[in-house]
Structure 1
Amino acid sequence: MTSGIHHITAITRKIQANVDFYVGILGLRLVKRTAGFEDADQLHLFYGDGNGAPGTLITFLAWEDGSPGRVGIGQPAEIALSIRPEAIGFWLTRALTLNIQMSGPTQEFGEPVLRLKDPDGIIVKLVGEAAVAGTDPWTATGIPAADAIQRIRGATIFSDQPQATADFVVRHFGFRLVAESAGIRRLAGDAADVLDIRDAGGFWTSAPGTGTIDHVALRAPDRAAVERVAASLRAEQAGATNMHDRTYFYSLYVREPGGALFEYATDEPGMLVDETPEALGSKLFVPGHVLADPDDVRARLPQFSLPGEERMTERDLPFIHRVHRPEKSDGTALVLLHGTGGNETSLLPFGARVAPNATLVSLRGRSMDEGYPRFFRRITAVTFDQEEIGSEAAALAAFIDEANAAYGLSPDKTVFLGYSNGANMLGALMFLHPGIVRNAVLLRAMNVLENVPMADLSGTNVLMVTGQSDPYGPYAADMEAFLERAGASVENRTLPAGHDIGAADVDLVRQFVQRVTG
């Protein structure tokens, strides 16, 4: 049995910072970008050597702006990458020069080790491994071949049952015990990759989230080996296992007795199954089983630029938000505010269909109502928290001013589009801070202000779209009347629909956007 580490998968909060670290600083190659196999709205990036060979792959799931996790028992805790021992000095100097958090060098199991922290706080150990030889170290980033990262050296697993964890890996995955030191059992595979099982008894339990390592994938020679291990796990009643065809490998998942998640993945068919070596990592792969429109999936996924490519840096503004840049911009922009139960990705496909050449800026509401993001809270179905509406409208006005400067948005060529709760916030914003919004689309909107202030909205263009069978539809007339009283130019269209939005809304909004941004 061939044994070793196939890949290590972790979770990041900010994909651009992640790319800058693993490609720009560590010098790995981006070898694959995919939509998630379990959740298509989750970007999954693979980094590795020049050919994306098994044993070199570090992968990240993007939980953009997601909550941080906690490293603890039942979880991988460190990623170890091999370099030549004499390269430690190069990486020490590089870390100091680039202001990377680090510690060391130290000696572990007779090898020099330098620990770095990535932008999410994940520990990456650079290990000076004697006689290491990578298959195709990636040197396109300018790092000398002699100093380049060669491959994965190993991973550290925190376990409060270290003996049981070690025995499980040895029994099922072909590793063997090679050393013990300071509470760590070191297991090695045929490819000289190592798993360090650390006795973490008394430590706190892990919690999933950004800044944590999700799982370690071990190498299987072929699909038959995966199925044999699955059978042995079932015979042992080792817990739930499931097998998947991941296009680039076939694998199973299982948790060891201490709780850490392992994957067992085949080397074949590999990262080159759908791309040439020259184009590796250049296109987004959307799994075939995904039922959503691939274009909608692409619109929802976070964008990033490789080092050296033109980029728009996302700014730290009062609202969590997503910026989606079109391949070819026409200078227009849509600012999107979701409805109850949505988030900053929900309206991106709608916006991309309406204005494919517009920059999209999509916000996440900061209020929580029954566990869902909103822009302000409800008190009853038709009464709302007036104080919160006022404070969040002020925050939104500040966001708009800063976003205009940060992203180069032109107020005359920007259309604000809100759905349901987001539309209601836009309506309130126009009355409380007149002049900020010049073009607005209000989908399934109603007035939520108990006292509507007098405002001058002359020169403001508004499209309201109401569903004929929407239970909130009867309230739209009041909003239209208040807007017209303030001098806005209002077009209120009724569609044969309910509170949901669809293709007919897209057509109406597209015509409006083209007309007002002309």
Structure 2
Amino acid sequence: MVSGIHHITAITRKIQANVDFYVGFLGLRLVKRTAGYEDADQLHLLYGDAAASPGSLITFLAWEDGSPGRVGLGQPAEIALAIKPEAIGFWLTRALTQNIATSGPAQEFGEPVLRLKDPDGIIVKLVGEADVDGPAPHVTKDIAAADAIQRIRGATIFSEKPAETAAFIADHFGYRTVAAANGITRLAGESADVLDIRDASGFWTSAPGTGTIDHIALRAPDRSAVEALAARLSTEGAGETNMHDRKYFYSLYAREPGGALLEYATDGPGMTVDEPLEALGEKLFVPRHFRADPEDVRARLPQFSLPGEERMTERDLPFIHRVHRSETPDGTAVVLLHGTGGNEASLLPFGTKLAPNAVLLSPRGRSLDEGYPRFFRRLTAVTFDQKDIAGEAEAFAAFMEGANAAYGLDPDRTLFVGYSNGANMIGAIMLLHPGIIRNAVLLRGMNVLETVPEADLSGANVLMVTGQSDPYRAYAGELEAHLKAAGASVENRLLAAGHDIGPADLEVARAYRERILG
């Protein structure tokens, strides 16, 4: 084992576009997909060469709702990937034909460099490195071995303390200064990769967020080396460090004097510890410490398609939403409306258990209550903003019209499932916009309309599921009466439960769906 870069981790908001760029355009291999170690509902994607070699790994944390970050002081700013010098022409042509914004080639430290931007705006440099031979370049149908990315060439760090940053990395990670020019000090590791420390004095400070690089991980020979560095940094008063077992490597995090986050990670046990080489990246790994059902986590995480796979592109519609598709669709759909404090992912585990072969459409409410998403605002526990209900119901009707067309949903084969505020929204939509919703399961629903218009709900099917000890149980009957008066076929099941939903709700909802949709 020699010193060098183990991996580089950045943050993306645009998951499908990220996959298309790093796998489809750059030709890297998706070698691992995991739930985040700090947040099980955060997707983490790892790209690398054909063997997932340390020194080839580029990883991304997915923040779909994350604000864009700002590149500045105390932060890595560029990713450099090594290619053979004679491949520069291939990549320039490829970028031009695939409409990838590019600049160059230009010379940096005597090497030809082609600069690109990924979909989130992160600068990716393709560097023609003389005599480079990566351990396992990933060859695709349109990228030959001679043109393929070989490994990570390096990264750039912005620092207002460049001398201290360079000294820290040299002292603790085995790098040495090899060149300096134009405000950049170049450090090299034993594996021939480089870290460019740019003097960024006077720059604005960095801000974490999407489109930024979170950290650079440097290679450690083994766990004892990680622990020894932690002890050394502690005696030097270098600031807070923490060590983690990440299953595929053991590591610690520390900040260099300029503020950039560095990781020290072991090569082993490596990415093949739980998947054979030929199947890398096919399955989702969920860290055990969450003690979560992997299927529930998988349902909540965003889906994506690899290049060449069938995909369903999410459309720009009035509500932020998630579309979850089955590998074996049965022609039905389930629309899921969350309760207060939920979001577009909250009911997806319920939906996958309810209808594993259906297309799931899960929107996020647009009204906020103390910062939490709802489908309309409440004034008290049992009174609601009538104008907000009317406006959001109309917007939702338009949303469904667009969603039916965009995703090929059949209204007669679609079941709407709402919980609490989501169930109340479904009831209001049915009475305000008859025909939009024809089949519904209302979990803990109640009437929220002060004035109920005349409506024709002939042919509509509704199951209301009420908790026996639910404090809102007394209000459910009014909604049932209004729906029946409008001509809907309404069933009401009373469960030994409170306001929360559980397995019993799933059981009765599944049986109802099978009965009305087959």
Per the normalisation by structure 1, the TM-score is 0.97
Give the match for residue 265 of structure 2. Answer: 265
The separation in 2 between residues aligned to 1:77 and 1:376, in whole angstroms, is: 42
The separation in 1 between residues aligned to 2:255 and 2:378, in whole angstroms, is: 42
C-alpha displacement of 1:55: 0.3
Give the match for residue 316 of structure 2. Answer: 316
C-alpha displacement of 1:263: 0.9
The separation in 1 between residues aligned to 2:351 and 2:28, in whole angstroms, is: 34
Give the match for residue 510 of structure 1. Answer: 510
Give the match for residue 214 of structure 2. Answer: 214
Give the match for residue 46 of structure 1. Answer: 46
The separation in 2 between residues aligned to 1:139 and 1:35, in whole angstroms, is: 27
Please give the per-residue CA displacement for 1:362-388, whole angstroms capped at 9, x wherever unaligned: 111122221111112222222222222
Root mean square deviation of aligned Cα:
1.4
The separation in 2 between residues aligned to 1:453 and 1:187, in whole angstroms, is: 73
Give the match for residue 171 of structure 1. Answer: 171
Mean Cα deviation higher: 160-169 or 115-124: 160-169
C-alpha displacement of 1:45: 1.2
C-alpha displacement of 1:231: 0.6
C-alpha displacement of 1:16: 1.4
Query: Does residue 144 in structure 1 map to residue 144 in structure 2?
Result: yes
C-alpha displacement of 1:202: 2.5
The separation in 1 between residues aligned to 2:403 and 2:503, in whole angstroms, is: 29
The separation in 2 between residues aligned to 1:202 and 1:368, in whole angstroms, is: 39
Query: Does residue 339 in structure 1 map to residue 339 in structure 2?
Result: yes
Alignment of 1:206-355 (within 5 A): 206-355=206-355
Q: Structure 1 unaligned segments of length 5 or more: list them.
A: none
Please give the per-residue CA displacement for 1:138-191, whole angstroms capped at 9, x wherever unaligned: 012420211111100111112222222222211211111222222222111111
Contact 1:24/1:141 (8 A) holds in 2:
no
C-alpha displacement of 1:135: 0.9
Contact 1:35/1:42 (8 A) holds in 2:
yes
Query: In structure 2, do the counterparts of structure 1 residues 6 and 141 end up closer, same or farther at CA, with 3 Å as the change threshold?
Result: farther
2:294 maps to a residue whose letter is P
Indicate the SS of the match to 1:9.
strand
Mean Cα deviation higher: 473-482 or 501-510: 473-482
Query: In structure 2, do the counterparts of structure 1 residues 72 and 383 end up closer, same or farther at CA, with 3 Å as the change threshold?
Result: farther
The separation in 1 between residues aligned to 2:66 and 2:336, in whole angstroms, is: 20
Give the match for residue 155 of structure 1. Answer: 155
1:166 maps to a residue whose letter is A
Contact 1:65/1:320 (8 A) holds in 2:
no
2:270 maps to a residue whose letter is G
Indicate the SS of the match to 1:31.
strand
Alignment of 1:50-449 (within 5 A): 50-449=50-449
Give the match for residue 454 of structure 1. Answer: 454
The separation in 2 between residues aligned to 1:425 and 1:141, in whole angstroms, is: 49
Indicate the SS of the match to 2:268.
strand
1:238 maps to a residue whose letter is A
The separation in 1 between residues aligned to 2:473 and 2:14, in whole angstroms, is: 39
C-alpha displacement of 1:451: 1.6
Mean Cα deviation higher: 352-361 or 67-76: 67-76
The separation in 1 between residues aligned to 2:368 and 2:348, in whole angstroms, is: 21
Mean Cα deviation higher: 409-418 or 275-284: 275-284
Please give the per-residue CA displacement for 1:94-148, whole angstroms capped at 9, x wherever unaligned: 1111001122222111111111111111111111111111111101242021111
Contact 1:78/1:155 (8 A) holds in 2:
yes
The separation in 2 between residues aligned to 1:199 and 1:420, in whole angstroms, is: 55
1:44 maps to a residue whose letter is H
Query: Does residue 26 in structure 1 map to residue 26 in structure 2?
Result: yes
C-alpha displacement of 1:218: 0.6
The separation in 1 between residues aligned to 2:24 and 2:488, in whole angstroms, is: 50
1:475 maps to a residue whose letter is Y
C-alpha displacement of 1:42: 1.3
Aligned residues: 518
C-alpha displacement of 1:65: 4.1
Please give the per-residue CA displacement for 1:443-499, whole angstroms capped at 9, x wherever unaligned: 111222222211111111111111222222211111111111111111122212121
Contact 1:27/1:141 (8 A) holds in 2:
no
Please give the per-residue CA displacement for 1:216-264, whole angstroms capped at 9, x wherever unaligned: 1110111111111111111112222111111111111112222211111
The separation in 2 between residues aligned to 1:368 and 1:69, in whole angstroms, is: 24
Indicate the SS of the match to 1:90.
helix
The separation in 1 between residues aligned to 2:343 and 2:86, in whole angstroms, is: 48
Query: In structure 2, do the counterparts of structure 1 residues 383 and 164 end up closer, same or farther at CA, with 3 Å as the change threshold?
Result: farther
Query: In structure 2, do the counterparts of structure 1 residues 44 and 141 end up closer, same or farther at CA, with 3 Å as the change threshold?
Result: farther
Q: Structure 2 unaligned segments of length 5 or more: list them.
A: none
Contact 1:329/1:358 (8 A) holds in 2:
yes
C-alpha displacement of 1:287: 2.0
The separation in 2 between residues aligned to 1:288 and 1:178, in whole angstroms, is: 43
The separation in 2 between residues aligned to 1:207 and 1:341, in whole angstroms, is: 27
Indicate the SS of the match to 1:273.
coil
The separation in 2 between residues aligned to 1:304 and 1:33, in whole angstroms, is: 11
The separation in 1 between residues aligned to 2:374 and 2:161, in whole angstroms, is: 43
2:268 maps to a residue whose letter is E
